[in-house]
Amino acid sequence: MLRMHALPGSLLRVLDAFRPCFTTPTFTTFATLPAGMVARPAQRTVCGMLSGAGLAGVWHHSRAHRFFATTRWYPDAVG
């Protein structure tokens, strides 16, 4: 399973710049998705990103899908 402290420092610094745009639980989900995408570049789906992050059997896939559909975050701030 992916651990935030196991990510390379360079990726953590990039992701940390987005921390103010999200709540703490939402940031965890946000940070997991690009990390999983980097780990599994051939399957760039939400489920593929969870699998790349090693969370496919730990988190239900709806957690990641819900991030895009209903979670409160600020796309303008992320942009």
> Domain locations in the chain?
4-78
* Terminal-to-terminal C-alpha distance of the chain: 29
CA 1 from centre of chain: 13
In the numeric block, which tokens belong to residue 19? Answer: 């921390």
For tokens 């239900």, the residue is 60
- Percentage with pLDDT > 70 across the chain: 92
Quote the tokens at residue 26: 């939402």
pTM above 0.75, yes or no: no
- Per-residue model confidence (pLDDT) at position 56: 79
